[in-house]
Structure 1
Amino acid sequence: MIDVEHRPPHTRRAPTAAARWLAVASIVLLFVVAGGWIPGIVGTAVAAALPWLGLVLLALLVIALFLTRRMIILILVPALLWILAMAPAFPGLPGQTGSESASASELTVVSQNVRARSGGAAASAAELAQSGADVIALVELDGDSLSAAQNALATEYPHSYTVGTVGVWSRYPLTDAEPLTLGLSWKRALRVEVQVPSAPVAVYVLHAASVRPGHQQDRDTMLSGIAEQVAADPAESLIAVGDFNAPSTDPALAALRAEADWARPTDGTLGFTWPVAFPLVRIDQVFVRGLDVVTSNTMRAGNSDHLATLTRVR
């Protein structure tokens, strides 16, 4: 009689169990990633988590590689869908600067949510001015922080316009300044025209309403409103900055993406801006039309819970 070596039952079952769990995880992730195209709170929640779901998918691929390679094909389905969903938020390449005339036509715009009642508006304003910015946009300003910012910027940025909780300071003259309600009953946005020597640039500054479970309509209304404003704006060159309270791939930004280009970070990162201690999501956005992005990155300033965005355009 020939003895046949039998593997322990648990050894045979291990790959099957791993395959089963990987299959379930892949299907769940497929539906989660697909939810990023659903307008409303579902799309916003998925958009916030989407960059980190890439790490989950990578972990599943590594597990499949070692335990059950036949599952790799199944995991690639949500992985490819993830790449498609994340594509609009991937980093970009810096633009070329080159000639002296090109440098002369560049405009640097910085924007930050300075966090109301933090007492750090003056520090934020001073540090943002040190970046060499031509235009500084600040949002979530209360009475004290507005006064502090005005005092800190008055000398280098003599041209300013503020309304509600948002403000803009410029080295160049401002014209056609107007407050924007964007469909709400209070003013949390503005538009000005910066008289840059090379050509005027329309600048929008926005502080969108917050997002909380069951309370998202105000934010969506504002994002829809600014998309309509940009679509109707006759300016050849414009830039929209501020705290949009929307992750980069949020479906609520789709209408604005159709009218202007999202400024991709050029520092090789995804440009996360909040919270400052450990940035998890980008909710402070930059959109441009009729302008080329030379560089776009983030920087710390003051004691806000938001990183500032710093964008150089031409």
Structure 2
Amino acid sequence: MTVVAHPQPSRSRASRPSRRGATARVIAVIGLVLLLLVVASWVPGIVGTAASVVLPWVGLALLALVVLALVRARRVLLLLLVPVVVWALAMGPSAPGFAAATASDATTLQVVSQNVRAHSGGAAASAQELAATGADVIALTELDAESLAAAREALAGDYPHSYAVGTVGMWSRYPIGDAEALTLGLDWKRAMRVTVQTPDAEVAVYVMHAASVRPGHQQGRDTMLSGIADAVAADPASSVVVVGDFNAASADPALSDLRARLDWVRPTDGSLGFTWPAGLPLTRIDHVFARGLDVLSSTTVRAGNSDHLATVTSFGL
């Protein structure tokens, strides 16, 4: 009698489906965690503030997860579509933009802004390097007495019109008027409003240095952001620019009121416009908002030895 032995599947082949199943489950769980992180960026308060900082980087994690699924577990690709779509919706308002078309003879207004980092000793260098960009208006925040004096000396020749209060200051090539210090709901002044008299139009310019955010200490910043939103809503000026250090990432829910009243100026250099920390920018906390103006270009540059990059924005009047 002949006995025919049937070959048994190898252990490695038998275990392959179970390994793929385990990989699929891991990918699905990570995808769910990333989805929760994205949704958290819409939650007001410290949860939304923290989630908005990591929101851009969640996109990279999702991309890596999709690539892994393509290689190891294609059956979960449809599941990953949900966090990918939700992330795209959350990031959409903070995506790069395009420069507006303008006539060659149109008047422009270039506004630059930087947090110069108090007690860094770099305010003069920042002021000089920002002036070299050809800016018409220079806004500096986190000024202490020494850095304010240094900036004034560096800019006095080319920017004869200036106003400073608290930790913020502004210098202009054009005459300014209606200078006003703003508390924005706090007990001290960290913001201002002035009107810049250009040859063709009057532009209301706000400069603000929002209160810092730390665990358990967020109310001051949120109060200021709500205050600036109310101020611009009541401002009768047809052309408005708001710049400064908002201490809030681009998608932070605390900026929603201001976004509802002004246009968030999108970077036109193809980037997300990250400004902090300057050595390796991971988030954008220095912003530009506008109303009644065309954005011709918006980018960031390094100036001085600050831990913030400066925003450089050109408007068409």
| Bin for the TM-score computed over the shorter chain | over 0.9
Match of 2:6 among 3, 7, 12: 3
Determine if the alignment matches structure 1 residue 302 to structure 2 residue 304: yes
Aligned to 1:68: 73
Deviation by residue 1:202-249 (Cα, 9 ceiling, x = unmatched): 000000000111110000000000000000000000000000000001
Aligned to 2:258: 256
Look up the SS of the partner of 2:147 in the other structure. Answer: helix
Aligned to 1:265: 267
Give 1:94 shift: 1.7
TM-score when normalising by structure 2: 0.97
Between the two proteins, the alignment pairs up a number of residues equal to 311
Look up the SS of the partner of 2:79 in the other structure. Answer: helix
* Identical aligned residues as a percent: 64
Determine if the alignment matches structure 1 residue 12 to structure 2 residue 17: yes
Look up the SS of the partner of 1:184 in the other structure. Answer: coil
Determine if the alignment matches structure 1 residue 98 to structure 2 residue 100: no
Which runs of no fewer than 5 residues in structure 1 stay unpaired? none
The code of the aligned residue for 1:91 comes to: P
Aligned to 1:28: 33
Look up the SS of the partner of 2:200 in the other structure. Answer: coil
Matches within 5 A, 1:2-151: 3-8=6-11, 9-100=14-105, 102=106, 105-151=107-153
Look up the SS of the partner of 2:288 in the other structure. Answer: strand
Which runs of no fewer than 5 residues in structure 2 stay unpaired? none
The code of the aligned residue for 1:86 comes to: M
Aligned to 1:152: 154
Determine if the alignment matches structure 1 residue 313 to structure 2 residue 315: yes
Following TM superposition, the consecutive aligned residue runs of length 4 or more in structure 1 with deviations greater than 4 angstroms are none
The code of the aligned residue for 1:151 comes to: E
Match of 1:209 among 211, 215, 223: 211
TM-score when normalising by structure 1: 0.98
Look up the SS of the partner of 1:70 in the other structure. Answer: helix
Give 1:98 shift: 3.3
Deviation by residue 1:161-193 (Cα, 9 ceiling, x = unmatched): 000010000000000000000000000000000
Look up the SS of the partner of 2:56 in the other structure. Answer: helix
The code of the aligned residue for 1:119 comes to: G
Match of 1:228 among 201, 221, 230: 230
Look up the SS of the partner of 1:201 in the other structure. Answer: strand
Aligned to 1:183: 185
> For the residues of structure 2 that align with 1:51 and 1:304, how far apart are their CA atoms?
23
Aligned to 1:247: 249
> For the residues of structure 2 that align with 1:72 and 1:7, how far apart are their CA atoms?
29
The code of the aligned residue for 2:41 comes to: G
Aligned to 1:282: 284
> For the residues of structure 2 that align with 1:265 and 1:176, how far apart are their CA atoms?
30
Give 1:7 shift: 4.2
Give 1:89 shift: 0.6
Give 1:80 shift: 0.5
> For the residues of structure 1 that align with 2:95 and 2:248, how far apart are their CA atoms?
16
> For the residues of structure 2 that align with 1:278 and 1:206, how far apart are their CA atoms?
24
Determine if the alignment matches structure 1 residue 164 to structure 2 residue 166: yes
Look up the SS of the partner of 1:258 in the other structure. Answer: helix
The code of the aligned residue for 2:6 comes to: D
Question: Of the two, which has the highest radius of gyration?
Answer: 2
